[in-house]
Amino acid sequence: MSAVKKMEYKTLTQLVTESVREKILSGEIAVGTHIRQATLAKELNVSQIPVREALLLLEGEGLITFRANKGASVTDFNLEQVDELFLLRATLEAQLLASSIANLSKEKLEQASCILDNLDNALKSNNAPKVWCDLNTDYHTCLYSAADLPQTQELVNILNTKAERYVRVHINSLGGVIKVGTDHKDILNACINGDTEQAVKILKQHIFSSRDEIKEVLRQA
């Protein structure tokens, strides 16, 4: 008997949150835009209650800012936030990778390689930035999967959620895309060779290089 794929149930608030999040990440709702809850509710064909709940969740992700007597708006880009997010990412992801490499199975390394192949082609797809970010997360999570540090991974997931709109800025820069692709391959090769020190070194360089390129793009915007 074939296995039945479990269907994922999502509440209306979750669906609205995903929709508004993507509108912000894609730039459809621009940085600094004031969010009119009634207008957004009408556009999404829902009441204002799930919209309000979604905006509160997105505030927790750093995408929405509430101000007294002004309501909600899309949070401005912030260079200081970029510094902090990517410093934390480098610290925690280096720990995950270092703890994972010795325990990575051949199957996991092959899985990471397959994801990387798809990642290289992601920018040719429709909705390329989102596809690329999803695959990028899958790739890193795969390499960290044998670390057995669930709390650290959870923190990294939160950081990546907060950093995604900055990463999308990064991957829209042609030079950034080429550099990231090279780094990913070098990290994977170091993992295959069991060279933890080299893998961690490249990972940190990769994260800090992304940070610097993001900041440069934001300064020029």
What are 46-101's pLDDT values in tens digits?
999 999 999 999 999 999 999 988 889 999 999 999 999 999 999 999 999 999 99
Task: Kindly tell me if the per-residue pLDDT of 26 is higher than 90.
Answer: no
**178 falls in which pLDDT band (50, 70, 90)?**
low
Q: Is 13 exposed, middle or buried (0-12, 13-18, 19+ CB in 10 A)?
A: middle
pLDDT more than 90, % of the chain: 71
The mean per-residue pLDDT over the stretch 3-11 comes to 62
The answer to whether 135 touches 122, Cβ cutoff 8 Å, is yes
For 73, the enclosing helix (H) or strand (E) is: strand 71-74
**5 falls in which pLDDT band (50, 70, 90)?**
very low
pLDDT at 7: 53
Please state, as a whole number, how many other Cβ atoms lie within 10 Å of the Cβ of residue 76: 9
Domains delineated in the chain:
12-74 (1.10.10.10), 79-220 (1.20.120.530)
Q: Is 138 exposed, middle or buried (0-12, 13-18, 19+ CB in 10 A)?
A: middle
The answer to whether 213 touches 173, Cβ cutoff 8 Å, is yes
Q: Is 85 exposed, middle or buried (0-12, 13-18, 19+ CB in 10 A)?
A: buried
Enter the pTM of the model: 0.86
Residue reference for tokens 């007597």 = 69
The answer to whether 147 touches 96, Cβ cutoff 8 Å, is yes
pLDDT at 171: 75
92 φ, ψ to 5°? -75, -40
For 165, the enclosing helix (H) or strand (E) is: helix 150-171
Taking Cα atoms as reference points, which of 56, 62, 59, 55 lies closest to residue 80? 62
pLDDT in tens, 110-132: 999 999 988 878 777 667 788 88
- Report how far residue 146's alpha carbon sits from residue 44's, in angstroms, rounded to the nearest whole number: 41
Task: Kindly tell me if the per-residue pLDDT of 1 is higher than 60.
Answer: no
pLDDT at 13: 93
- Report how far residue 41's alpha carbon sits from residue 16's, in angstroms, rounded to the nearest whole number: 9
pLDDT at 2: 43
- CA quadruple 31, 68, 160, 6: dihedral sign: negative
pLDDT at 180: 61
Please state, as a whole number, how many other Cβ atoms lie within 10 Å of the Cβ of residue 104: 21
